[in-house]
Amino acid sequence: MSLSTLRSNALLNKRILSFMLFTFVVYLTIGLPLAVLPGFVHNTLGYNSVLAGLVISVQYFSTLISRPHAGRYADLLGPKRVVIFGLICCGVSGIFYAMAFWFSAFPLVSLLMLCVGRVFLGVGESFGSTGTTLWGIGAVGAKHTARVISWNGVATYGAMAVGAPLGVLLNHAYGLMGVAVLIIVAAAFAAILACMKAAISVTAGKRIAFKAVVGRIWLYGLGLGFGTIGFGVIATFITLYYADKGWSGAAFTLTLFSLGFVGARLIFGNMINRFGGLRVSLVSFVLEVAGLLMIWWGQDPLSVQLGAFLTGSGFSLIFPALGVEAVKQVPPQNQGTALGLYSAFLDLGLGITGPVAGLIISHFGTPSIYLAAAFMVVIAWLLTLRLWVNTSRQTSV
């Protein structure tokens, strides 16, 4: 690779990263309260652990419902306005967390404040993340879509990795109020920077109907949803898996999953442009299945840790690889709607993983969920193979 090419890539990445700051802040506001709120609901307000979990889930359902609307409004109003609105919503969530802290002597009122805050955070995630991705694509060009989506994912998981432990430290020092204040300040700072950044023009032209967009991208989204289940069972149940085995080191296993995820995006992200999103997805699903089967069959912590690393590496490129192909199915003026709908399948996959995996565990034990997840990823592989075969036939005609 020539020196000029390296400089060109460095400048391109620098420009993309200037937008990914907004995604980082959005997911920082998600990560900060993640490990703090369950304890606040259970220990401070006195509610049971089930209700504590439901408070966390409120944000997820808010994200799922609002994600398609975020893409649609980005198409209509431009991604800059959508990002600013999303960041404001994230900041408002911090205000409601602060109110929950103030009203902690009134548990029901405090709980309601938390739930309202989680709703705002879910909307903030949808609008902030989807808008940032579209803003970045519009600024650097559609040919760099895969790179923008890849960097967006790195910013997402990096912020979550920083936010969760930082939230715990703030909670120990200042309680929920410390977490709330940092959320408000970070969101306000990012919103000001977004206001100062140049907008991109909204693509003109007739937009196809919402139903038509769904019809064109749903198979890609379904592949993403099934592929996401592997990530969901590791993130949610690996600690329980280790406890059942009597092992230690569950946190390190999650770290290895994250290293595999981030490493694959940084090293192999350009493979999507070289070989196409469908081919990359087919290879990625194979790696993910292999990793999940290693965890299911794991006889010792080392094999499970290697399986988690392999699963993270395989899952890493699935979102950008299938996402690139999904947005190609619609005209430019509908790409925001397509990306929002496509992303909602990830939310849906994570949402159904918890209760269904819990049901499987109650009947067949914790390791069984990793075998079941591998089976779901095989279905995703078959769906992607069908898409690849159909695309190849259309190209050859």
Q: Model confidence over 286-345: pLDDT tens digits?
A: 999 999 999 999 888 899 999 999 999 999 899 889 988 998 888 877 887 888 888 888
* Together in a domain, 165 and 223: no
Prediction pTM value: 0.79
pLDDT of residue 358: 79
* Together in a domain, 291 and 154: no
pLDDT of residue 144: 80
* Together in a domain, 342 and 224: yes
* Together in a domain, 157 and 227: no
Q: Which residues of the chain have pLDDT under 50?
A: 1
pLDDT of residue 8: 67
Final residue of a structural domain among 153, 173, 196: 196
> What pLDDT digit, counting tens, does each position of 250-293 carry?
778 877 888 888 888 888 878 888 888 999 999 999 999 999 99
Final residue of a structural domain among 162, 196, 230: 196
In a domain, 202, yes or no: no
Amino acid identity, position 40: F
In a domain, 397, yes or no: no
| C-beta separation of 28 from 159 below 8 A | yes
* Together in a domain, 221 and 157: no
| C-beta separation of 290 from 314 below 8 A | yes
pLDDT of residue 349: 83
In a domain, 24, yes or no: yes
Distance CA 70, CA 77 (A): 10
3-state secondary structure of 314: helix
CA atoms in the 13 A half-sphere facing the CB of 8: 7
pLDDT of residue 396: 62
| C-beta separation of 128 from 90 below 8 A | yes
pLDDT of residue 82: 94
* Together in a domain, 170 and 223: no
In a domain, 203, yes or no: no
Final residue of a structural domain among 171, 196, 221: 196
pLDDT of residue 147: 82
How confident is the prediction for the chain on average, in pLDDT? 87
3-state secondary structure of 387: helix
Domain count, the chain: 2
* Together in a domain, 186 and 220: no
Q: How many helices (H) and strands (E) does the chain have?
A: 15, 0
pLDDT of residue 308: 92
In a domain, 201, yes or no: no
The domain that holds 43 is classified in CATH as: 1.20.1250.20
In a domain, 356, yes or no: yes
* Together in a domain, 352 and 214: yes
In a domain, 16, yes or no: yes
* Together in a domain, 326 and 249: yes
Q: What six digits make up the tokens of 147?
A: 């790179």
Q: Pick from 286, 284, 305: which is nearest to 294 by CA?
A: 305
* Together in a domain, 66 and 162: yes
* Together in a domain, 326 and 240: yes
In a domain, 158, yes or no: yes
Q: Which domain holds residue 188?
A: 1-196
* Together in a domain, 212 and 192: no
